[in-house]
Amino acid sequence: MENEHTLDWLIALVENAKSIGTEEEKKNAVASVPTSLVESLMHNTALTETSTELKLFGKGIPASPGAATGVICFSSDSVLDATDEGKKVILVCHETSPADEIGMRMAEGILTVRGGMASHAAVVARGWGIPAVVGVSDLEISEKEIKIGENRLEEGAYISLDGSTGEVFSGEMKLRESSEEISELKILLDWADEIRSEHIKVRANSDTREDTERALSFGAEGIGLCRTEHMFMGDRLPLIQRFILASEESEEEKESLNELMNAQRLDLSEVISAMAPNPVTVRLLDAPLHEFLGEETPDEWLEHNPMLGTRGVRLAILREQLYRMQTRALIGAILDVREMGKKPNVDIMIPLVSEVSELDLVRSWIEEEVASVEEELRPSIGTMIETPRAAITADQIAKSADFFSFGTNDLTQLVFGFSRDDIESRVIGMYVNEGILSANPFETLDALGVGDVMKQAISKGRKANPGLEIGVCGEHGGDPASIKFLFQAGVDYVSCSPFRLPIARLAAAQAVLSSSN
C-alpha cells in the first residue's frame, strides 16, 4: 500500500474529483481510497529503514495501530514518575485494568503479556489512539527486566512497538509523525458522509468530555456507548468498592451511593453537554467485579469466571440501589445540561440481559426514577444484546426495549465459547495461520456464526417492535469488513473508538456504494 496509495496520491485523487465536480466522480473517489490509508494517516508510523535497523524483540497481537517508542516502565506509578522527568514511556505489564488508566493515558504505547483485541488494554488504547501490542505470551516480566528467550531488556531501557503489525523491537525507533489537518481527507470524508448519511450513522464510544470533543472533531454523530463504569475508576475506585462491600440498606451504602451519584452527575453532564443535541447512549454499570475489587476480593464476592459472573444487570438486581442511583445521576445531568441552554438527548442502556424479566424489572425501577421528569426529557430505555439467549429471544426482549445495541465483543466470546482475554495469543493466531479461521473474530465479525445470530435477532426484534432502533457498539463497529456486513444486516448505526471514526465513516460509505452496484 505504501508504494501505491500515499498521501500525495490521495491529494491528487481528491483534487481531480473536485475539478470534475460530478457526483459520480466523488463516489468513485470515495470507493477507491483504501481504509488502511486513512488509518495510517491517523497515527505515527515507523520509518521503513528503522524497523530493519532495530532488533526484533518479540511479536504479539496488533491491538491498536500506530508506532511508539520509549523507556520501559512496569507500572502506572513509574510511568508518571518518568513522564514527570520528560521521558517518553512504554507501559509494559502482564495485563491492564481500569486502575491503570492514569498511567496508560500518559504512555506512548502499551505492551502486555496477556489479552487480545477485546481486552482492556486493547479497547482503551484504541479509544485514546495509543499504539498497543498485547498477548505477547512468551514475554517474561521480573522485578527489574523483561525477557523473551535469551533477549533481555532492563526497566528504563528503550523499547519500540508497532501496533499495526504486532512487532516489538529493542531500541529507539524513528517515527513518521501522523498527518494533521489534511484538507483533502476532510473533503473525502465529507463526501463519504453525504453518501451514507441517509442509510447508516456513525457514533463514538466515549466516556469523558475530552474524548467526546475529540469524537466530534472526527465526525461523530452521537455517542453509541458511554461506559459509566469508567467513571468509577482512579480516585473514585474506593467509592464503588465501599458500595459493593457495604451491607444493603446500611448507612455506609447510602453515603457511598450519594458520593457516587454526585461524581457521576458531574461526569455525565460534561459528556452530554459536549455532544448535545446529538444522542448519547449511557450504559449502566457493566464491569466484572474483579475490575473493581482487584486482588483483595473478599471470599463472598470471589468468582472463578467473573466475566460470566455478577456483572451488569445481575449485580443491579442483587443491589437495587445501584441502577437507581445511576438513573438519578443521569436525570440530574440532563437537568444541568438544559440549564446550560442546551438540548440533552439521552438513552439508557441496560447491559447483559439474558431474560426479558430482568429487563422488565430493572426498567420498572428506572421508570419510577424518571417519572417526575418532563416527558420530553425522559430517556428511552433499551438493552445491550451480548448473550446468545438475548439474541435468541429477541422478539420477547424487543417488546420491552426501545432499542437494541449489539455488544459484539461479548457476543463473539459467548457464541464461540472463546475467552476474549485468554485465547487470542495462544490459539487464534495459530488458527488463522493454519486456515482454521479466516480472520480473528474479535477483529472482524464472524458473519457465518455470530453474524447469523445477529441477523436473526434483528429480524425477530423488528417484527415484534417495528420502531426498534438497532446499533452496534462493540469494537467491530470500527472494522471496515464488519461494517459492510452490519450495513447489509440492517443496523441503524455503528459506534466505535474516536480514532476509528474516520475509517468507519469511509467504510460505511463504501458499504452503501457496493450495495447499490
Cβ atoms within 10 Å, residue 305: 9
**3-class state of residue 67 by DSSP:** strand
Return the bridge partners of 64, or none: 132
Q: What is d(CA 210, CA 127) in angstroms, rounded to the nearest whole number? A: 11
Burial of 23 (C-beta count, 10 Å sphere; 0-12/13-18/19+): exposed
Q: Which three cell numbers stand for residue 443?
A: 477483529
How far, CA to CA in Å, does 204 sit from each of 267, 283, 328, 426? 17, 13, 24, 31
Q: Which three cell numbers stand for residue 224?
A: 453509541
Q: What is d(CA 260, CA 237) in angstroms, rounded to the nearest whole number? A: 10
- In the residue annotation, 473 being an active-site residue is answered as yes
Catalytic-labelled residue, pool 73, 93, 226, 473: 473
- In the residue annotation, 93 being an active-site residue is answered as no
Q: What is d(CA 347, CA 37) in angstroms, rounded to the nearest whole number? A: 34
**3-class state of residue 496 by DSSP:** strand
Q: What is d(CA 56, CA 53) in angstroms, rounded to the nearest whole number? A: 9
Q: What is d(CA 413, CA 430) in angstroms, rounded to the nearest whole number? A: 17
Q: What is d(CA 236, CA 315) in angstroms, rounded to the nearest whole number? A: 19
CA-CA-CA-CA torsion sign (47, 52, 57, 63)? positive
CA-CA-CA-CA torsion sign (397, 359, 206, 137)? negative
Catalytic-labelled residue, pool 73, 93, 120, 476: 120
Q: Which residues touch 144 (CB under 8 Å, ≥6 apart)?
A: 154, 155
| Residue 263 identity (one-letter amino acid) | A
Q: Which residues touch 300 (CB under 8 Å, ≥6 apart)?
A: none
Q: What is d(CA 465, CA 400) in angstroms, rounded to the nearest whole number? A: 9
Q: What phi, psi does 347 have (nearest 5°)?
A: -120, 150
**Any idea which residues carry the catalytic annotation?**
120, 473
